[in-house]
A and B are shown apart, each in its own frame.
Chain A
């Protein structure tokens, strides 16, 4: 694995060096670091759609480069350094685990702009962070899950126990419980963003435990492929539409739409107005989209889910609205109170009703 990445890195470095030499300084170069392969059909695929949108929007004025399958660790730092050295003007690092590496490399290259997805550290002025309010989509999925489950058991494949994932688990559970008070949720931690074999095993174990609705916070389509083997089990597309598995097991999806943000930020580099900022947009801002709800879902459930998505988008409903208690029974939000962004960004607890501990 390491060896291959190294070779690939070297090859990419060469490629960038030649490309950089060939094209003069007038082109703006946008580079992307991906955690999985573009063909994952999920997270990385959507980021690459954003990259293609940048190319389409600015044509000859920009060129783009990317590197797939970059591990979250020392390799990532090497890849970013190589990109910065080879003339990239703006570098998008598209996984939470690149946070420290992005800030370390950014400190060494003050003239290069860095954009880190889903992180919160902006140590130097040339680092921006951007994220999407995935939990808004999760709330809608949770509603459908609560309505659709027959066994009353919902499964959730978690990647890493970080706030973003915990938000998703809580949002799903709160809204499933609202429509189905008897519902329970089982969480399996996969400790990976992309490992189809592990994700399939996790889905299989959940199904064996009687779960008939699977939510995933990992990037591949493997859990849906596993769900397809058992009739009556449904799941949701994650990050990308995953329409190949519609109408069932995939009954809907959360789509990450990075294209508008990427086009805006590369545009800002082009006209020299780029400045550090922290973006956290959701359904309202168009960064989170709800994929078409399939015919496997009853019409009235579909209508409710769409109404909820519209209310969240319009800002009239917040998925974390009190009264809500923490797992230990203590009050988190009072009646009508809405969670603030600071609490959400650091969320490290389950809400009342979820059984199990969050691994440390």
Chain B
């Protein structure tokens, strides 16, 4: 294997970019699951975010508004999930799966006529001389603002869940909704908030794919990244900082395998292409065999109604 031809600084810089969509979607889903809700519709919310963001950015000419539109689109779709599971007490697994399929179909319809259009460019944050520092400059100071925002969101979520009152209530609702209800917390309202946050984050991640990563619209552009985000949450055993590690690991291997191909590695292409997924499965198996699964919120996937 020839790693010599690959520049580690370039690799790290590009894995940070490649991981952003999964990172955002996974941190959103983490908050949702911490509140005791299992939303399997991440893929659907991401792709709706991707097309809403794309349409908004093309329409207004502003990438910033595009990201806002993507987040709004993802949140809007998650609202359907919230109404069905929190209001009408529908099964969360089935509703989540339906949400993914609905999102994929709806995005394809909304995207008619948007194939092959160029969205406005999201440029790197100007750090001036900082970005000229060798190695470090390329890794830390050469990205667009969403990359920094995604890391900031991880830090913020970590802090809120651990140290703030809101975080405590959210976790209480997710661990034992009966007890939280008895203490006078509005279980369904807290969960609604968490679901909307999860939708907005997934939408933001989707918008990053269609506005920065590719940047184009095409049917099925998220290509299963929403499912990877779901796996990353389990992988991280519901800890925000581990989401960052998981997403960077997956993104890193995805980028590395293409670089190995381009550098003329001797490993057959088929093995390289499957490696990110293979490693995700292996890590999940290792994690599940340990104590990590005990860290899952106790009320995960259970519906709550005050009358019961």
A contact residues vs B (CB 8 Å cutoff): 1, 3-4, 7, 37-41, 45, 69, 155, 186, 188-189, 191, 194-198, 200-202, 204-206, 208-209, 211, 220-222, 225, 244, 355-356, 359
Mind listing 28 A-B residue pairs with CB under 8 Å?
A1-B104, A3-B105, A4-B104, A4-B219, A38-B115, A41-B115, A41-B116, A69-B219, A155-B262, A188-B258, A189-B261, A191-B269, A194-B218, A196-B216, A196-B221, A200-B216, A202-B258, A202-B262, A205-B258, A205-B262, A208-B6, A208-B10, A209-B262, A221-B216, A222-B216, A225-B214, A225-B215, A244-B118
Q: B270 to A359, Cβ gap below 8 A?
A: yes
Further pairs besides A40-B116, A69-B219, A205-B261: 19, Cβ < 8 Å: A4-B105, A4-B108, A37-B219, A39-B115, A40-B115, A188-B262, A189-B261, A194-B218, A196-B221, A197-B218, A198-B223, A200-B214, A201-B18, A201-B255, A204-B258, A205-B262, A209-B259, A209-B263, A359-B270
Chain A residues, CB < 8 A from B254:
201
Q: Nearest B residue to A209 by beta-carbon distance?
A: B262
Q: Are A39 and B113 in contact (CB under 8 A)?
A: yes
Chain A residues positioned under 8 Å from B229 (CB to CB): none
Listed in ascending order, the chain B residues whose CB lies under 8 Å from chain A are 5-7, 10-11, 14, 18, 101, 104-105, 108, 113-116, 118, 209, 213-216, 218-221, 223, 254-255, 258-259, 261-264, 268-270, 273
Pair B268/A359 contact, Cβ less than 8 Å: yes
| CB-based A-B contact count at 8 angstroms | 99
Q: Which residue of B lies closest to A41 (CB)?
A: B116
Best-buried of A7, A38, A195, A204 by chain B (most CB within 10 Å): A204
A197 touching B262, Cβ below 8 Å:
no
Nearest CB in chain B to that of A8: its residue: B108
Structural contact, B218 and A208, CB atoms closer than 8 A: no
Cβ contacts under 8 Å, A155 to chain B: 262
Distance in angstroms between the alpha carbons of A69 and B219 in the assembled complex: 9
Check B223–A208 contact: CB distance below 8 A.
no
| Residues of chain B within 8 A of A198, CB atoms compared | 223
A206 CA to B255 CA, complexed, in Å: 11
Which residues on the B side are within 8 Å of A194 (C-beta)? 218
Find chain A residues with CB under 8 A from B218 CB. Answer: 37, 40, 194-197, 220
Closest 8 CB pairs of A and B: A39-B115, A205-B258, A41-B116, A209-B262, A205-B262, A196-B216, A39-B116, A37-B115
Assuming the contacts A200-B213, A221-B216, asked whether A209 and B223 have C-beta atoms less than 8 A apart, the reply is no
Question: Which among B18, B214, B254, B270 has the greatest number of chain A C-beta atoms within 10 A?
Answer: B214
Taking a contact as CB atoms closer than 8 A, the residue among A39, A201, A209, A222 that contacts B5 in the complex is A209
Tell me whether A221 and B116 are in contact (CB under 8 A): yes
Q: Are B108 and A220 in contact, CB atoms less than 8 angstroms apart?
A: no
Cα-based distance from A206 to B305 in the complex (angstroms):
55
Contacts of A40 in B (CB 8 A): 115-116, 218
CA distance A333 to B221 in the complex (A): 44
**Interfacial chain B residues near A39, Cβ < 8 Å:** 113-116
Asked whether B220 lies within 8 Å of A186 as measured between CB atoms, the reply is no
- B218 nearest in chain A by CB position: A196
Given contacts A197-B221, A200-B213, contact A186 B264 (CB under 8 A): yes
Taking a contact as CB atoms under 8 Å apart, the answer to whether B104 and A205 are in contact is no
Which of B116, B223, B262 is the one whose CB lies under 8 Å from A195? B223
Question: Taking A69-B219, A208-B7, A222-B214 as contacts, is the C-beta distance between A359 and B269 under 8 angstroms?
Answer: yes
Please, how many angstroms separate the alpha-carbon atoms of A359 and B268 in the complex?
7
Measured between C-beta atoms, what is the minimum distance from A340 to chain B in Å?
30
A-side contacts of B255, CB under 8 Å: 201, 205
Contacts of B116 in A (CB 8 A): 39-41, 45, 220-221
Tell me, in angstroms, the Cα distance from A355 to B5 when the chains sit together: 14
Q: Which residues of B lie under 8 Å from residue A188 when comparing CB positions?
A: 258, 261-262
Q: Please measure, in the bound complex, the distance between the C-alpha atom of A212 and the C-alpha atom of B259, giving whole angstroms.
A: 15
Cα separation A205 to B118 with both chains bound (whole Å):
21
Residues of B within 8 A of A200 (CB): 213-216
Q: Are B259 and A205 in contact (CB under 8 A)?
A: yes
Beyond A39-B113, A40-B116, A195-B223, whether A208 also contacts B214 by CB under 8 A is no
Contact A197 B209 (CB under 8 A): yes
Q: Which of A69, A206, A220 contacts B216 (CB 8 A)?
A: A220
Q: Are B14 and A208 in contact (CB under 8 A)?
A: yes
B253–chain A nearest beta-carbon distance, Å: 13
When the two chains form their complex, are residues B262 and A3 in contact, meaning their CB atoms are under 8 A apart? no
A355 and B264 contact, Cβ closer than 8 Å, known pairs A3-B101, A195-B223: yes
A237 to chain B, nearest CB (A): 12
Task: Kindly list chain A residues whose C-beta atoms are within 8 Å of the C-beta of B261.
Answer: 188-189, 202, 205
| B268 nearest in chain A by CB position | A359
Known: A40-B115, A188-B258. A197 touches B214 (CB 8 A): yes
Return chain B residues, CB-CB under 8 Å to A209: 5-6, 259, 262-263
- On chain A, the residues within 8 Å of B223 by CB distance are 195, 197-198
Min Cβ gap B70→A in Å is 16
List the B residue with the shortest CB-CB distance to A37: B115
Q: Which residues of B contact A196 (CB under 8 A)?
A: 214, 216, 218, 221
Return the contact of A208 from the options B101, B213, B259 (Cβ within 8 A): B259
Chain B residues whose CB sits within 8 angstroms of the CB of A191 once the complex forms: 269, 273
B158 to chain A, nearest CB (A): 29
Expressed in whole angstroms, the Cα–Cα distance for A225 and B218 within the complex equals 14
Find the A residue at minimum CB distance from B209: A197
Q: Is there an interface contact between A211 and B264, defined as CB atoms closer than 8 Å?
A: no
Contact B262–A225 (Cβ < 8 Å): no
Chain B: minimal CB distance from A352 (Å):
16
In Å, the complex CA distance between A300 and B266 comes to 39
A276 to B: closest C-beta gap in Å:
35
Contact status A201-B104, CB under 8 Å? no
